Every structure is written in C-alpha cells, then in structure tokens.
Amino acid sequence: MVSAQNHTLSHARNGKRTYSNIVAKRRPRSYNAKTEENMMSRKTAEVELHYERCCGIDVHKEMIVACFRDGSKNTIKEFGTTSKELQRLAEWLISVNCEMTVMESTGSYWKPVYNILELLGVEGMVSNARDVKNLPGRKTDVKDAEWMARLLAQGLLRPSYTPDREQRELREVTRYRRSLTDERAREINRLGKMLEGANIKLTSVVDNVLGSSSRKLLEAALAGEPLTELTIEGMLKGKIRGKSALLADAMDGVLSKTQRRLIRAVLDHIDDMTRRISDMDDIIRDEMEKYDEAIKRLDNIPGIGVSSAQAILAEIGLDMNQFPTAGHLAVWAGVCPGNNVSAGKSKSGRTRKGNQTLRTTLVQCAQSATLTKGSFFRAQYDRLVVRRGKNRAKMAVAHSIIIAIWHMLKHGTEYHELGGDYYNRFNPEKKINMYLKKLAELGWSPPDPAAA
C-alpha cells in the first residue's frame, strides 16, 4: 500500500507537482518579491542601531562598491580607485551626512581609500576580514557592501587598530628595512654555498664570511692572486691572526671564470643592500626623534636592541590608550594562547596570527633574552622548556616582554629586572624537599651527624 507521502514524491518525480509549486499555491495573494525583504527590515528596525547613517565599502584594486545605509534603506554606488574618484566618494558621503564607514583590512587596497577619507574628515574604520565575512553562497560585491553596512549599523563590527598617517608611513620604512635585512641574510647564505661549490672552505674557519679579513681574502681570490700562508697573514686582523695556516688550506679552491663573475655579482648585491639598510637607518633615526626616550627605555630590556625597539614602537606607537590592558596588546600582537573551549573541554590553544611583524620581532628578541644569564627571561625559559618545549617557552618569554613594554609605555617607568632567582624565592622549603627526594632516588643519602 502506497502512503500519501510516497504518492506526493512520485508525482514530483513525474513533473506534475513540485515543492516550489505547492508552496507558491499556499502563499497569500498579496505576496510579492519584496515581502521577505520587508520582513527583514521590520526585524532590523527592532534592533538598536548604533549608526543611523553609515556606509559599507567593498574595496578592490580598480573599483570599489559603497553601500550607504539610511535606517533600513540602502543606496549603492560604484567608484574607481584613483584619487579623483575617491574624493568623489568622500564628497558624496559628506553630502549625505554619513556618520561612519567601514572596509575590510585585507591586502593594501584599503590604504588609499582610508587616506582620502581621513584627509577629508570622513570617519572610518578598518575591520578584520573574519568579522565581516558574509554567508556562503551570497558572494557579490554589492551584497558584501550591504552586509558590512548592516553589521556596522547594528554595532557588530570591531575596529582594527589603525594608527595615524605618520605612524603608518613609519611602519613602511621599518618593514622595508626588515625585508632588506632578511634578503641580505639570504644572500650571505647563498654566497657561502657558492664558495663551497668552488672548494673554498672559508665558512668552516670563520664565522662571518663578510668580515674585514674574510673580505680581503675573497677579493684576492677573485683577482687571482696567490694565497700563501705568508700573504694571508698580512691580511688578517684581530683574533683570526693565528689561523693563517688553516685559512691557507681553506682558500685552496678552484674558481672558474663563471664562478668568479657570479660571486662578484653576489658581493655587489650584498654591498648595495648594506648601503640601502644604512639609508633606512638614517630615515628612521630622523623620523623617530620623538621616540628617543621610549627607545632608550626599551633598550634596557634584555634581548631588545635599538633596531628592535624602533620596529616595536613603529607597530604599537606611544599611546597605550589604544589597548585597555596589557592583555589586549598581547592578543593583538599574537603572542598569547588562543581560547578554544567546547563542552567544557579545552582544545587547541594555538596562538592567533596577530601582527606578523611585531610577533616575529618579539620572538627574535625572546630568543636573545634567553641567552642573557641571570635575567628573569632566562629563568622563565629554563622553567618552561623542559615540559613545554623550546617554541612554547620562547613564545612565553615574548609574551612577558610585550607585557613589560605595555607597562613601561603606559606608566612611563623604567625596566625592573626581577633576577634569575625569581622563581626560587617562592616556597623554598618545598623546593628543597623536592630536590632531596630526587637525590634520594639517585642513591644519595645525607651524612649521619653522629658518625662525624
């Protein structure tokens, strides 16, 4: 016996009745295509609006789509990305009394839009792309702009930290210096591999292949001069003077014409990048005069030098009011564990991405700080590395560094070293008993006072 449900499905397969036709017949005669949109508008009206008149901007390389939202009414317009077109966008937003604009913080395409809006006095925010992502299957430029405008109106978007134009330009200089430094390091490693290919074992004897003595040896080898122990000894300076015999054997290689030209090109490239890095240092030094006091304070922190302090301050600025607590700054930098708890169980505590430039700088500073004997950071690293591993221990030290930086900039205080014995000051009796127990497990027993 066939059920009514099966009978309906069989008719649907034959094309006589479908679900959409049945639903259409049950709709009221007054239904039209905008009924659902009107229902959504009434629901939106019941939600408290943070901005009555706002605009969502979907930014691309060559065009942008702006959705101006006035209450529940949307107005869509398209503009180019040239300065003239962006000025036209800003003038339109000013004419309609726009209270706030929002755009995604993806790539670098938001920067020219934000620059023009900032110059013309239009309030704007940049939000994380994760927060403004629309539902799957609704990906168009217009719908993205409408979605951002709707979220902004209801106060559901968090603004990303966007410093002023002066600090943004300073960031570009420090980040470019960093990219040059990294590229120079790669070229030095490439030079070492080329020397190995030419049977020159200079890197096995000296640590710095571009030191004063090493450079003289390379120039002589490229010029085809004979490198005997006597001639090499006249080129050496400092501690390397006693290694003339080892260097004579190390420089006994075979350089072809092609290898000479290639090594010369790499050396010229390294020299050019060294000069460019020096130029960036001069620009940063001139532009960061007001940061001098803060740089000196940060330079007192173990592991942080002048260049690292400049890079850190270029990313976070001097005004710590942008970050309500030190924890907020640590989260933004991406050096604290993430929250992932479900059903009362803690899952992966992977750190967030955060500011990649700041995060990398802090981890490098933490690596240097762990090598400073007698410091708190060294004690913290030694305490965690055994049970948590090297990478997590370094991240914990980086977290402590950024916390200290926030307090120093917020309250204008100097760095206070807690000392390498910081953790030993707590519960000393408990620690003594623990070590005595371990010694007993190894077979040691305390001497008998009566026997003495």
Do 185 and 205 belong to one domain? Answer: yes
Which residues, at least 6 apart from 245, have a Cβ–Cβ distance to it below 8 Å? 229
pLDDT of residue 34: 52
Instruction: Decide which of 89, 120, 153 is a domain's last residue.
Output: 153
Q: Is there a single domain that holds both residue 200 and residue 265?
A: yes
269 and 323 assigned to the same domain: no
Same domain, 248 and 308: no
**Same domain for 180 and 107:** no
Query: Do 300 and 260 fall into the same domain?
Result: no
Q: Compute φ and ψ for 30, nearest 5 degrees.
A: -80, 0
Question: Quick check: is 276 in a domain?
Answer: yes
Global pTM exceeds 0.75: yes
Q: Are residues 301 and 282 located together in one domain of the fold?
A: no
Do residue 134 and residue 182 come from a single domain? no
- Examine the fold and report which residue of 287, 303, 332 is the final residue of a domain before the chain moves on: 287
Pick the closest to residue 64 from 2, 7, 161, 148 (CA basis): 148
Instruction: Say if 433 falls within a structural domain.
Output: no
| Residues 308 and 403 occupy one common structural domain | yes
Q: What is the pLDDT of residue 46?
A: 57
Query: What integer pLDDT is reported at residue 135 of this predicted model?
Result: 76
pLDDT of residue 227: 86
Residue 38 lies in a domain: no
430, part of any domain: no
Q: Is residue 5 in some structural domain?
A: no
What's the number of domains the chain is made of?
3
- Cα–Cα distance, 269 to 180 (Å, whole number): 11
Are the C-beta atoms of residues 306 and 287 closer than 8 Å to each other?
no
Domain assignment present for residue 226? The answer is yes
Which of these three, 125, 153, 181, is where a domain ends?
Answer: 153
> Per residue of the chain (452 residues), what is the pLDDT tens digit?
444 444 444 444 444 444 445 444 444 554 454 554 555 555 555 567 899 999 999 999 999 999 999 988 999 999 999 999 999 999 999 999 999 999 998 788 999 999 999 999 999 999 988 888 877 777 899 999 999 999 999 999 989 999 999 999 999 999 999 999 999 999 999 999 999 999 999 988 998 889 888 899 999 999 988 888 888 888 888 888 888 889 888 898 889 999 999 999 999 999 999 999 999 999 999 999 999 999 999 999 999 999 999 999 999 999 999 999 999 999 999 998 888 888 888 887 788 888 999 999 999 999 999 999 999 999 999 999 999 999 999 999 999 999 999 999 999 999 999 999 898 888 888 888 888 899 889 888 888 776 65
Based on the domain organization, do 283 and 323 belong to the same domain? no
Q: Give domain status of residue 440, yes or no.
A: no
- In a domain? residue 29: no
And the tokens for 380? 């913290």
Contact 372, 378 (CB under 8 A): yes
Q: Tokens for 397, please give them.
A: 């030290």
Range of the domain at 325: 290-341+349-411
| Nearest residue to 298 via CA among 310, 285, 309 | 309
- Kindly state whether residues 299 and 402 are assigned to the same domain: yes
What CATH number corresponds to the domain at position 99? 3.30.420.110
* Residue 382 and residue 310 share a domain: yes
